[in-house]
Amino acid sequence: MKNFTSVDQIENVNALVELAKSIKKNPFGNKQLGENKTIGLLFFNPSLRTRLSTQKAAQNLGMNAMVMNLNNEGWTLEFEEGAIMDGNKSEHIIEAAQVVSQYCDIIAIRSFPTLTDKEKDLAEHVINSFVKYATVPVVSLEGATEHPLQALADILTIEEQKQTARPKVVLTWAPHPKALPHAVPNSFAKMMLKADVDFVITHPKGYELNPEVTQGATIIYDQDEAFKDADFIYAKNWSSFTDYGAILSRDEKWMVTNKKMELTNNAKFMHCLPVRRNQVVADEVLDGPNSIVFEQANNRTYAAQAILTQILENAK
C-alpha cells in the first residue's frame, strides 16, 4: 500500500482486519518500525477522534507526529495549476506538498468537501493534489468523498461483534440540522460491499448516494422494512447527492429509537461520531446496551495503526 485515500485501495480486507486485530492485542509490539519516522497530520477542518487516534497510532509505532492546522497556522494554499498568484493565496499546493514531503515520511490530511462544487469534490481536489505532488505516501483523515480510516475501524468492529457468519448490516440515513458530507457513508458502503455481509441502505427518496459507490447494495426506502432482522444498524446523516449539498428532509421519523431497534435482530447500534443526540439517534439507543460507538472509536487507533504499519512496511 502506498497511499490510503479510498477503501478501493484495500486489496484484502480480511488480511487488514486480521492485522488490526493483532495490533490491538499488542499495540506496542512494533515500536521499532516507526523509529526515526515522522508523520505530518495536516488539518483543514476540525477533528477529535481522527486526530487523536492517528497520533496515538503513530506513537504506538514509535513515530513522531507533527500536527498542523493549515487554516490558521500555515499559509493559505492555492490549488489551481497555472494560477497567477496575485491574490490572497500565499503558497501553491505544488510547493506545500513537496516541502512537507521533505520533513515527513507520511502525510495525512483532512479536507472536507465544499458541498457546493460537486465536480471539485468528486475529484477529491485537495487530497488528490497532495497525492499528485507529495513524494511520500498520503493518508486521508477524511476527504471530500471518503473516510477510509473510519470504514476500516467499522469493519473491524463488525468483525469483532458479529454473532453470525454473515450478518445483515443496515446503513440508515437520519435527520440532522446541517448539510453533511458523503465521505462516511461512501466509505462504509464501499467497505460493506467488500465484506462478507448482507448490506442494505435505507434513506428517504432523493438521498441516494453516488450510484457508482452503492452499485451492488440493496436500497430500501422504507426504514422499518430495512431494519427487519438487521444485526447492525449504522446511522448517519448526509446531504443530498443529486441535489448536491441540499437538505431535503429533516423528518424526525427517521431518527433511530428503541422502537425502531425492536424491529431488528437485537442489532448493535453504530455511528462514527460526533453524533447529534435526539436528532440522529435517541439517547435511549445511544446510551443503551447495544450501542457500540465507543468500541468503534477505540478501533480507530488500530485501524490507523494497521494502515501506517502497511505503509511503513511497504516503504522498507
Q: Closer CB to a second copy, residue 286 or residue 307?
A: 286
In the list 21, 161, 273, 290, the residue contacting a second copy (rule: CB under 8 A) is 273
Does residue 22 touch a second copy according to CB under 8 A? Answer: no
Does residue 277 touch a second copy according to CB under 8 A? Answer: yes
Does residue 310 touch a second copy according to CB under 8 A? Answer: no
C-alpha cell of 146?
Answer: 471518503
With the C-alpha atoms ordered 134, 138, 142, 148, is the resulting torsion angle positive or negative?
positive
Q: How far is CA 124 from CA 79, 295, 297, 307, in A?
A: 12, 29, 25, 20
Does residue 128 touch a second copy according to CB under 8 A? Answer: no
CB atoms within 10 A of CB 210: 16
d(CA 39, CA 64): 6
Binding to a second copy (CB under 8 A) within 131-190 occurs at 177
Q: Please check if 276 is assigned to a binding site.
A: yes
| Contact track, a second copy, 74-113, x by CB under 8 A | xx--x---xxxxxx--xxx-xxx-xxx-xxx---------
Phi first, then psi, for residue 170 (nearest 5°) are -115, 120
C-alpha cell of 233?
Answer: 444498524
d(CA 259, CA 252): 13
Q: Closer CB to a second copy, residue 51 or residue 236?
A: 51
Give burial (CB, 10 Å; 0-12/13-18/19+) of 284: middle
User: CB of residue 40 vs a second copy: minimum separation in angstroms?
Assistant: 7
Does residue 64 touch a second copy according to CB under 8 A? Answer: yes
Maximum distance among all Cα pairs of the chain, rounded to whole angstroms: 60
Q: Please check if 104 is assigned to a binding site.
A: no
Q: Are 264 and 230 in contact (CB under 8 A)?
A: yes
User: CB of residue 39 vs a second copy: minimum separation in angstroms?
Assistant: 11
Give the residue numbers of the binding site for N(2)-succinyl-L-ornithine.
Answer: 142, 176, 236, 276
**Which positions touch a second copy (CB under 8 A)?**
27-28, 36, 38, 40, 43, 46-49, 51-53, 55-56, 59-60, 64, 66, 68-69, 72-75, 78, 82-87, 90-92, 94-96, 98-100, 102-104, 177, 273-279, 283, 286-287, 293-294, 297-298, 300-301
